[in-house]
Each structure stands twice: as C-alpha cells, then as structure tokens.
Amino acid sequence: MLRFLLSRLGQSVFILIGVTVITFALAFLVPADPVRMIAGRSASPATVENIRHQLGLDRPVPEQYVRYVTRLVHGDLGRSYMQKTQVSTLIASRLPATLLLMAGAIFFELLIGLTAGIWAATRRGHFSDQAVMVASFVGVSAPQFLVGLLLLYVFANLLNLFPLGGYGDLHHLILPALTLGIGGGGWYSRVMRSSMADVLRQDYIRTARAKGLKERKVVLVHGLRNAILPVVAMVGLDIGIFMSGAVVVESVYGWPGIGQLAWQAIQVIDIPIIMGVTLTAAVAIVLGNLLADLVTPFIDPRVRL
Amino acid sequence: MSDAWKKFFRNRLALAGSLVIALIVLGGVGAPWLAPYDPHEQFFDGLTLEGAPLPPDAKFWLGTDLLGRDLFSRLLFGARTSLIIGIVANGAAVVIGTFLGLVAGFVRGWLGAAIMRFTDLMMAFPALLLAIALAAIFNPSLWIVALVIAMVNWVQIARVIYTQTTSLATREYIEATRALGANWPRLLFVHVLPHLLPTILVWSTLGIATTVLLEATLSFLGIGVRPPTPSWGGIIFESQSYFLDAPWLVFFPGIAVLLMALSFNLVGDALRDALDPTQRGR
C-alpha cells in the first residue's frame, strides 16, 4: 500500500514538473510581448524597461523558470496582466461555480450511464440493447454546443421551465449539468455495458442465481460492485477534466466557472491566467486518477494497492 | 479479411454510417455543381423587410443566414472544411501517434520510456483547453487548426500502438527475422507495421469523429477556420446571438456535425468488431 502510494506520488510529481515546463513554454510561444500589453502603446521606452525588470522578464530563461517554480511552490500563480489581481484569487473565486457544475455533471453522467449500461447489459442482443447503444453513440457524437443550445431552446425558451442562463440556484444548474451529462453518459453507458456483460458471465454470478437470488439483486448487488470499477476510473478522470472548466457549456449558459475565466483570458492572451488554469487542471487530473486508484480497493477488496 | 468484411457488411448501422459519409463526401466534393446558389452571394430577397434571416422555404431550402446567404449552399461548402480538417488533422495525428508508438514499443530502453512518459504528460493536460489556447495564440488558418488538432489527438493512438507493438516485438518470428540479419527499421516497417494496420484503420476512423467535433467546437468559439471560408462550426458561431429567433441557423449545421461524427463512430466501431477478435461479442 505505502509502496504503491509512494511510486504513484513519484510519478505524479514527475508529471507535474513536466506540466510546469510546458505551461512555462506556452508563455514563450505567444507572439505578443506581455510588457507592451501591460504598459500600453504610448508608454516610454524607460517605463517598458522598468516593467520588464519588475516582472523579471529581462533575466535568462532558466532563471525565470526557477523563479516561476519557486513561486508555484509557495502557492503563488502570479498576477493577471489585465485584471491586476492574483491568479490564485481569480481561480478561487470561480471555484464554487466550477465544483457545483462538476457535481451536477457527474451526477447526470452516472445516472444516464449506469442506468442505460445496466439496462443494455441485461438485455444483450435485444432491440432495447441496440437502441441504447445507438443512443449512446448519438450522445458521444453530439457537439456540446448543439446539445446545450437545443436544451436551452426547448426547455428554457419554448417551455419556460428553466432560466436562459446565469448562475444561482438549482434551476440554473440543471440544463448545463445535463448537457455535460449527456455526452459523458454516452461513454459511461458503453463502458458500463461491456463491463457488466463480462461480470455477468462469471461463475459467482451463476452461483448467486443458482441459490435462488432475485435477478435484480444479482445484477445490482453482486454484479454492479465489480462491474462499476472501470466507471470509477472514468469519474476520476472527469473530475480533473471538469476542473479546467467546461468552456463550451459555460459560454452557452453564461456560467461563471473556471472555463469562462480561461476563455476570457485566452481572448486577450492573459498568459498568467492561462498558465494558472492549465496547471490547476493538470493537478486535478493527476489527483483525480490517484483518487480513483485509492477508492478501488474499498469497492473490490481483491484489489490490493 | 473476407470474413471481417462480411461481418462489417452485416452491420446495418455501419452501412447506414458509410452511406451518410458517402453523401457528405459527395456533397463536399460536388458542392460547386450541387449547391443551388453561390455560398457567398447575399440575396436581396434573402432577408425579411426588417432584415431578419428567412426560415426554410421553397426557394431557400434550409433558410438564409444573417447576411441573406443560402444556408444549404453554405452547408455543402462547409462540408469541405470539415472533410479537409478530418483527413489532414487526423491523418497527421495517426502518423505521429503510430510512429512514436512503434518506436517506443519496439526500441524500448530510454527512448521508449521517454516517449511514453511524454504521452503520460500529455494525458494530464486538458486537451480542449490546450487546443483553444494554441488556436488562439496562432491566429488560425485551415492548416493551423489542423495542426493544433493533430497536436492534441496523437496521444491516444500512440498508446494503443505502443501496447500492441510491445506484444508483437516478443513474437518468435520477429526474433527469427532479426537472426536472419534484418535491421530494425526493416523489422519495424516490413514485419511489425502490417500487423498493426487493422488497429490503425479503426483508430483513424474513430479519430475523424473526434477531429470533426473538435474543429466544430473551435469554430463555435470563434477560433476555428476564419470566414469567409464556410465551416459548420463557424456558421453557428456567426448566428449564435440570433439563435432564439433563427434556431435553424444553429440546428442545421449542428446536426450536420452530429451526423458526420456519428457516422464515423458507427463505422469505426463496426470495423473494430469485425477486425479485432479480442473485442468479439462486446
């Protein structure tokens, strides 16, 4: 257990160092000079040099990288060029909306994915199985903006059941979360179906049936516990992916999450924010994977870490 | 192989998908002859008296856009953009992924380890965010968008190819060929690569679906292929703010993207079923 944890932590640290190198390099790919962007067009050469010196951008590149990492270790993601605020403050202010949307999206993904996947796996080869599989393909092939705008048009505009967008109570959450849940649910249901079908072929399931257990209990208690493992790994991955924000859905519904922050920053090429969000997401993806690994032995005691 | 094709042709969904793909290719390639109007012409009678776009009618089959241009003609020409990106971006991703996966799986050692750790690293990046950032930084043309998509999409293919190559590399026939004096490029490209073709075919097909969706998403955000080139995501981007009044401007191109991605997914999945014996019955 400890050994596994240590080796996984080691890997994670390696990946995170790599991520900092790439986010750092991203800043040098940008053709625009950040100093010019801060100083404005009419700034005198002396002011420009002054700002360049203040930001440490006149130092050699390796030294700049070391400074960048040192600040990161102290929890300092730098300061936004445009908004003149700490990036960590900006990200923290978007965190509640992002976490709420993440929870809603994962809820719908699991609801759709588990129901459809189990339904299809217990009716292999039947019409309903094929119908679910076609529906799951439609779910994964539908562009998020189409699903989002369609739901918005039908449920908010025509039926007036939900607000047209914005952030606030549960009413605002349902459509954006459902939009994300439809796409993710499509993947989940495919994974769930094939995993459940494999489990239901195993001997212990036959034993459970032979001793007279109700089919419902066989599938939902004995089957599900093993069959859900690959889905748990997917949730771990999704936690990380949603931490970078759902740019498209947030833009369709005007949801003030990290995705919107990143999108606005990308449009004005506000590098510190882009670097900060990418890094936060990468950390979340690494942690999400680690979390999925740690949860697994609790669901399936045969798995030892 | 003939068994595999029989199996493929018995799959009705895959046939439907192939048909849709054929229609899209036909529509895109034949756009100059098939389109009822010039996609750039702004019709005087293409807008209402108040200047609003027209809903579908007998003259403009799918309605007109905000500038009074025929939506159906624009969709036909937009199919070209999606197809070009689908082929070029995905082709590049497949070539990069296959090459790196092959080398990592066959050469192993520090080079292989370095390549695979790099794919781990890429997996830890939010792909969409990376693509958006890159596309925004490099003022996108058709080719830049294709390049950006290839840069984020090669990773999965590399990992699949890597896994298969490592198992192929330990087979006896490889050892025998090596003993006969074949050098490693020959081993790799003449003796290993042909065995991977079914996998590459499956992933190329599935990859086009991902690519088309990513391109549409970038265009939807306004950082895809630049106007005046019609692209499906771009049409939605232009008309988004008007969408409650003119929903057809969003739904028709959106459904076109959906149909294209769906068809490639169905065909790719059927190919996997037909070509890969370990996936049988899943």
Nearest CA in chain A to B117: A15
Least confident of A37-41, A185-189, B135-139, B157-161: A37-41
Facing B13 at nearest CB: one of A134, A269, A274: A134
pLDDT given for residue B281 in this prediction = 44
Mean pLDDT of A12-27: 82
Q: Residues A81-103: pLDDT tens digits?
A: 777 788 888 888 888 888 889 99
Mean pLDDT of A4-28: 81
Q: Residues A140-183: pLDDT tens digits?
A: 899 988 898 888 888 877 887 777 777 777 778 888 999 999 98
| Sign for the pseudo-dihedral over CA of B132, B137, B143, B147 | negative
Burial class for A214, CB neighbours closer than 10 Å (0-12, 13-18, 19+):
exposed
pLDDT at B27 over 60: yes
Name the 3-class secondary structure at B47.
strand
Q: Residues B54-87: pLDDT tens digits?
A: 677 767 667 777 676 777 888 888 888 888 888 8
pLDDT given for residue A106 in this prediction = 92
Question: Is the CB of A285 less than 8 angstroms away from the CB of B124?
Answer: yes
Which residue, among B12, B85, B128, B129, would best test binding to A if mutated, counting the most A CBs under 10 Å from its CB? B129
Mean pLDDT of B235-244: 80
Facing A143 at nearest CB: one of B121, B129, B217: B217
What average pLDDT is seen over chain A?
A: 82
pLDDT at A304 over 50: yes
CB A65, CB A227: distance < 8 Å = no
CB B232, CB B255: distance < 8 Å = no
pTM: 0.85
Burial class for A272, CB neighbours closer than 10 Å (0-12, 13-18, 19+):
buried
Q: Which of A233-247, B189-203, B238-252 has the highest mean pLDDT?
A: B189-203
Burial class for B125, CB neighbours closer than 10 Å (0-12, 13-18, 19+):
buried
Q: How far is A57 from chain B (nearest CA, A)?
A: 20
pLDDT category of residue B119 using cuts at 50, 70 and 90: confident
Facing B258 at nearest CB: one of A30, A142, A262: A142
pLDDT category of residue B282 using cuts at 50, 70 and 90: very low
pLDDT at A47 over 50: yes
Q: Residues B161-183: pLDDT tens digits?
A: 888 888 887 788 877 887 887 78
pLDDT category of residue B128 using cuts at 50, 70 and 90: confident
Q: How far is A176 from chain B (nearest CA, A)?
A: 16
What distance in Å separates the CA atoms of residue A78 and residue A270, rounded to the nearest whole number? 11
Name the 3-class secondary structure at A77.
coil
One-character DSSP codes across chain B:
-HHHHHHHHH-HHHHHHHHHHHHHHHHHHTHHHH-SS-TT---GGGB-TTSPBPPS-SSSTT-B-TTS-BHHHHHHHHHHHHHHHHHHHHHHHHHHHHHHHHHHHHH-HHHHHHHHHHHHHHHTS-HHHHHHHHHHHT---HHHHHHHHHHHHHHHHHHHHHHHHHHHHTSHHHHHHHHTT--HHHIIIIIIHHHHHHHHHHHHHHHHHHHHHHHHHHHHTT-SSPTTS--HHHHHHHHGGGTTT-THHHHHHHHHHHHHHHHHHHHHHHHHHHH-GGGTT-
What single-letter DSSP state applies at residue A142?
Answer: S
pLDDT given for residue A105 in this prediction = 92
pLDDT at A111 over 90: yes
What distance in Å separates the CA atoms of residue B85 and residue B149, rounded to the nearest whole number? 9
pLDDT at B280 over 50: no
Is the CB of residue A14 less than 8 Å away from at least one CB of chain B?
A: yes
pLDDT given for residue B49 in this prediction = 65
CB B73, CB B252: distance < 8 Å = no
